[in-house]
Structure 1
Amino acid sequence: MNAHLHTPSLAAMAPFIAPHGPLRVAINLGNPVLAGLDAAGEPSGISADLSRALAAQLGVGIEWRIFKKADDSVQCVRADEADIGFFAIDPVRGEGLHFSPPYVQIEGAYMVRSDSPLQSNGEVDQASHRVTVGAGSAYDLFLSRHLKHARIVRAPSSPAVVEVFMAQQLEVAAGVKQQLQADAQRLPGVRLLPGRFMVIHQAMGMPAQRSAAAREQLNAFVEEAKQSGWVAQAFVRHQIQGAAVAPAGYPTPD
């Protein structure tokens, strides 16, 4: 673990943050920028590193809850079947959860076919367009609020978005910019629209019924991880590109 995260021991908070003994962590593999599995099948990435750092400060072990979809991870923490998870801050998800301030900002982008007439993000919201997103993802929640004319087609998960886009001959795919860029490099005949249509504010979360002190300590842990440079160093360690360390505090709601 990176030696530059110098926050005080949280051992006294362990009964409040991890009341069942080990720190039960919900990890969503749907966003490869943040989490994946290593060769041994263990969680890896910045989300896993933050989990291990928090568990070390609490003086407890870890039990992983691994999911392929963000919504399943949300439901796990909301039901108090995990103590922490990693979520995009969204008002629809807020019920039953406490979000820390975000630690990472990630761009959402659109993919189209090379011969598509679309040239900008502002042209997407037309009645003749079908936009595919991962069901229950931050992109799904955001576009469900903001698209007034285009029809949303929900793929089973975020990693399946491009597969559905190609198989169903849809007009637009929406998702993590880095993932879509990687897909565009391996697939002929597709391109990304320039810029971004949204910014995801990725945070840690815990069940809302945790004590005020537990919520405050989680917030302080995340803020220190950013302020100390630990998050920026995690970007380097995991070769994360295209994301940014979130500024201090909470974002302005969209």
Structure 2
Amino acid sequence: MNFNEAVATALAPTGKLRVTINLGNPILANTDQSTGRPSGISVDLATELAQRLEVRVEFLVVDAAAKAVDAVTNGSADLGFFAIDPVRGAGIAFTPPYVLIEGCYLVRQNSPIRDNSQVDDSHNRVAVGAGSAYDLFLSRELRRASIIRVPTSPAVIEAFIEQGLEVAAGVKQQLLSDARRYPGLRLVEEPFMTIQQAMGVAKVRGDAAIQCLREFVAELKASGQVYALLTRHGIHGATVAPPHSC
């Protein structure tokens, strides 16, 4: 699909598409070690969108989802990549999800916790990245366990170990990587949530711009481009969202 001039102006009012990239989710974005620039599926999707808008793209790199949300809501970025959540939805309009990833728990090998139902206990402390999708979700779902928020998602494992916490929560792939780096840890295999990753813009950008973004994501899923990007970046454990998911 192509974007008309009015939509292009709504999405990129400065003449360039300013996109915030959250490095706190390594499934979607990382720093290219050879160039120092951000890379990953979210970077590629933003670049594709800028090409269709016929503007250049500029990346605002952050280390936490909450910072990306702030950048889009305060107007310092035009577009971001987020997990869909009703709290964020107060000011941000989401496209349908393009990728689904899993949120899981990590515990010590000798932990009595074997399934998700055992986490919400008054003696358990759960480390989460502040403002992350799983922080927002668990803040609604956990009634007895304590939530310990750390500044960024990649810092969760360090806080979990250093503070002797009972549970770490995060993206499954990140936790599996952590378990390989730190002996004596194990993943609780059953996901506690499915994280729907979407593109998001401030609602004030208007219905026409939002609808065009939704059609853009739907097209990239249907054409196989999202799947190709997952393959290109070697992302395992994430799946392309169904065509009509919302």
Residues 35-50 of structure 1 correspond to what in structure 2 (within 5 A)? 35-38=29-32, 39-50=34-45
Residues 1-254 of structure 1 correspond to what in structure 2 (within 5 A)? 8-10=1-3, 12=5, 13-38=7-32, 39-251=34-246
Which amino acid in 1 is paired with 2:240? V
Deviation at 1:10, TM superposition (A): 2.1
Rounded to whole Å, the distance in 1 between the matches of 2:56 and 2:38 is 14
Deviation at 1:244, TM superposition (A): 0.8
Deviation at 1:19, TM superposition (A): 1.1
Deviation at 1:95, TM superposition (A): 1.4
State the Cα deviation string for residues 199-218 of structure 1 (Å, max 9, x = none). Answer: 00000001110121111100
Which amino acid in 2 is paired with 1:93? R
Which amino acid in 1 is paired with 2:164? Q
Which amino acid in 1 is paired with 2:172? K
Rounded to whole Å, the distance in 1 between the matches of 2:90 and 2:36 is 32
Which amino acid in 2 is paired with 1:25? V
Deviation at 1:58, TM superposition (A): 0.5
- Give 5+ residue unaligned stretches, structure 2: none
State the Cα deviation string for residues 93-134 of structure 1 (Å, max 9, x = none). Answer: 111111111101010010000010111111111001000000
Rounded to whole Å, the distance in 2 between the matches of 1:249 and 1:15 is 28
- The residue that corresponds to 1:3 in the other structure is none
- Give 5+ residue unaligned stretches, structure 1: 1-7
Contact 1:11 1:57 survives alignment (8 Å): no
Residue-pair matches, total: 244
Contact 1:121 1:194 survives alignment (8 Å): no
- The residue that corresponds to 1:5 in the other structure is none
Contact 1:111 1:173 survives alignment (8 Å): yes
Rounded to whole Å, the distance in 2 between the matches of 1:146 and 1:165 is 20
- State percent identity of aligned pairs: 54
RMSD over equivalenced CA pairs, Å: 0.9
TM-score, normalised relative to structure 1: 0.94
